[in-house]
């Protein structure tokens, strides 16, 4: 009877964090879907390609600095589990300090950054013209975007998933409103979508500061900037986040290369793959709700040195994510044509995307494993394992497979390489976990 009570308690803890996280995360692909639909219905494929390529570049930039959220969550959750309010406050200061430095560098180096990005990404001349316009507008959202990462990660580490939900809803609804306004009312194209993003990010940053002061004002008394950036503490913060940075750069490289390779196959394949990847994104953000819960809860139990609860919460998280994966697969299978038609009204693109949609239908059954392990390892701040897994899967699985098969299989080789990349991530992290879980609470 006692075990059933504990199981129910863990389920409640998971759902209290996961449900707001799922809603927060699903708002992100909703925005991406609205952006895709807005430009997908404009005359000419170059606008859809511009948003795909421009968005890919910012994914590479911002996902690369996603450690500002992920590292902050794990470290804060451990401080929370250890009941160390002072350290929790200092972690937020460190995260915002690093976010400010990075944002400043991005703005100062935007021209060489753009030149390098468009040198590496090969797209048609028309797509490149509009993608550059998109880039030079959206880059000014950098300070707000990175600041939001840090504050959102801190809220999650404090076991508070509601504030990130409020932030996501306001940011994404604002983004949709401004994008529709700029594109439909003012007649802008892909540049209107970029402008909408900039406006929404600063609204989100202002909201996050208001929420912090409303609930966590007492933490301000613990803030000491000199102590926060003390070399030893900052070194640990940067060590954890350095591993996450390498892991994330590899992940973003794979998805960015997927878009770049799609563009090399032609504008039609680029459009079809961009739409199908929206389904992968929706799945990722849905299951990542449980991965975010894993970061918060695993970090808390690691900080509290509670091995039994740690193992139980990991098992519970896999059960919930598996159920969600089956649900997504069923939905993609039953409503494939209807879902494709949401993103474009061009019959040739729908027909082309239908040829490859089976990769998307099976993805939810596979991808959730590595998503949950990501959250578990982040919560434990065992970031070296995440780094090593991603290096193996990127350079020994994805790249070799695609280059060996692309001449024979074309776009199918791209989807096969991406699918096996996700499978190998789950396999390697499962292997590492068997040897490391006990060490997390004994360190």
> 37: Cβ–Cβ under 8 A, 6 or more apart, which residues?
342, 343, 344
- What is the mean pLDDT of the segment spanning 211-220? 90
CA distances to 97, 236, 348, 359, 381 from 233, in Å: 13, 5, 56, 44, 14
Average pLDDT, integer, range 143-150: 95
How do the domains of the chain map onto residue ranges?
2-442
- Which residue would you say has higher pLDDT here, 141 or 15? 141
343: pLDDT strictly greater than 80 = no
The 3-state DSSP class for residue 73 equals helix
Predicted local confidence at residue 142, as pLDDT? 94
**Over the stretch 383-406, which tens digit does the pLDDT of each residue have?**
999 999 999 999 999 999 999 999
pTM of the model: 0.80
Beta-carbon contacts of residue 43 (< 8 Å; ≥ 6 apart): none
Angle, vertex CA 19, rays to CA 13 and CA 20, nearest 5: 105
Rounded CA separation 1/223 (Å):
45
Q: Which long-range contacts (CB under 8 A, 24 or more apart) does 304-309 make?
A: 304/81, 304/82, 305/441, 305/442, 306/441, 307/437, 307/438, 307/441, 309/10
DSSP states of 261-309: HHHHT-HHHHHHHHHHHHHHHHHHHHHHHHHHHHHHHHHHHHHTT-HHH
**Contact 69/161 with Cβ under 8 angstroms?**
no
- Distances from the Cα of 231 to the Cα of 272, 299, 339, angstroms: 49, 23, 51
When the pLDDT of each residue in the chain is averaged and rounded to a whole number, the result is 85
Helix axes 46-64, 142-157, angle to 10 degrees: 50
Confidence of residue 28 (pLDDT cuts 50, 70, 90): low
Q: Is the pLDDT of residue 7 over 60?
A: no
The count of other CB atoms within 10 Å of the CB of residue 31 is 22
pLDDT tens digits for 282-311?
777 778 889 989 999 999 999 888 888 899
- Number of helices (H) and strands (E) in the chain: give both, helices first: 19, 0
Q: By mean pLDDT, which of 130-134, 218-222, 413-417 is the weakest?
A: 218-222
C-alpha to C-alpha distance for 297 and 72, rounded to whole angstroms? 14
For the stretch 172-197, pLDDT in tens is 889 889 888 988 888 777 788 889 98
Separation CA 105–CA 120 (nearest Å)? 20
What does the alpha-carbon distance between residue 3 and residue 429 come to, in Å, rounded to a whole number?
Answer: 28
> What is the mean pLDDT of the segment spanning 105-122?
89
Give the residue, 336 or 403, on which the prediction is more confident. 403
Q: What is the CA radius of gyration of the chain?
A: 21
Average pLDDT over residues 157-166: 92
- In 335-405, DSSP assigns E strands to none
């Amino acid at each position: 009877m006692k075990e059933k009570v504990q199981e129910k308690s863990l389920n409640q803890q998971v759902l209290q964090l996961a449900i707001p996280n799922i809603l927060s995360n699903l708002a992100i692909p909703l925005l991406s879907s609205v952006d895709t639909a807005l430009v997908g219905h404009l005359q000419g494929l170059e606008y859809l390609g511009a948003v795909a390529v421009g968005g890919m570049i910012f994914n590479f930039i911002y996902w690369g600095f996603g450690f500002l959220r992920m590292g902050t969550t794990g470290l804060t959750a451990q401080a929370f589990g250890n009941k160390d309010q002072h350290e929790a406050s200092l972690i937020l200061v460190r995260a915002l300090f690093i976010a400010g430095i990075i944002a400043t560098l991005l703005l100062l180096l935007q021209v060489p950054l753009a030149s390098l990005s468009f040198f590496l990404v090969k797209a048609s001349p028309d797509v490149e013209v509009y993608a550059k316009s998109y880039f030079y507008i959206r880059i000014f959202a950098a300070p707000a975007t990175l600041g939001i990462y840090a504050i959102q990660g801190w809220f999650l580490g404090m076991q508070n998933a509601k504030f990130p939900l409020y932030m996501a809803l306001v940011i994404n609804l604002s983004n949709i409103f401004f994008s529709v306004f700029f594109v439909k009312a003012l007649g802008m194209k892909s540049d209107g979508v970029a402008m909408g993003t900039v406006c929404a990010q600063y609204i989100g940053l202002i909201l996050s500061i208001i929420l912090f002061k409303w609930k966590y004002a007492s933490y301000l008394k613990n803030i000491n900037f000199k102590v926060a950036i003390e070399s030893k503490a900052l070194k640990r913060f940067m060590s954890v986040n350095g591993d996450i940075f390498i892991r994330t750069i590899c992940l973003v490289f794979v998805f960015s290369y997927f878009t770049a390779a799609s563009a090399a196959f032609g504008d039609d394949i680029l459009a079809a793959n961009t739409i199908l990847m929206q389904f992968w994104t929706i799945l990722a953000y849905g299951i990542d709700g449980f991965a975010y819960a894993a970061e918060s809860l695993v970090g808390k139990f690691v900080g509290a040195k509670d091995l039994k609860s740690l193992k139980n919460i990991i098992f519970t998280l896999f059960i919930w994510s598996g159920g969600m994966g089956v649900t997504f697969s069923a939905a993609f299978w039953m409503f494939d044509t209807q879902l494709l038609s949401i993103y474009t009204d061009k019959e040739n693109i729908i027909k082309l995307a239908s040829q490859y949609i089976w990769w998307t239908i099976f993805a939810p059954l596979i991808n959730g494993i590595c998503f949950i392990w990501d959250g578990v390892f982040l919560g434990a701040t065992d970031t070296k394992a995440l780094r090593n897994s991603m290096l193996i899967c990127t350079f020994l699985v994805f790249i070799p497979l695609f280059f060996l098969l692309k001449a024979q299989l074309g776009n199918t080789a791209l989807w096969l390489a991406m699918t096996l990349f996700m499978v190998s991530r789950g396999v390697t992290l499962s292997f590492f976990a068997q040897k490391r879980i006990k060490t997390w609470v004994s360190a």
